[in-house]
Amino acid sequence: MFEDKTLVCKDCGKEFVFTAGEQEFYAEKGFENEPTRCKECRDAKKARIRQSREYFTATCAACGGEAKVPFKPSEDRPVYCSDCFAKMKEAE
pLDDT tens-digit profile, the chain (92 residues): 899 999 999 999 999 999 999 999 999 999 999 999 999 999 999 999 888 888 899 999 999 999 999 889 988 999 999 999 999 888 88
- For residues 73 and 57, give the distance between their C-alpha atoms in angstroms, rounded to a whole number: 8
Q: Would you state the pLDDT for residue 51?
A: 82
Looking at residue 54, its pLDDT comes to 87
Strand 56-59 relative to strand 66-69, pairing: antiparallel
pLDDT of residue 49: 84
| 49 CB-near residues (< 8 Å, 6+ apart) | none
Q: Where are the alpha helices (DSSP H) in 3-71?
A: 20-29, 39-52
| Inter-residue contact 9 to 2 (CB < 8 Å) | no
pLDDT at residue 92, as a whole number: 81
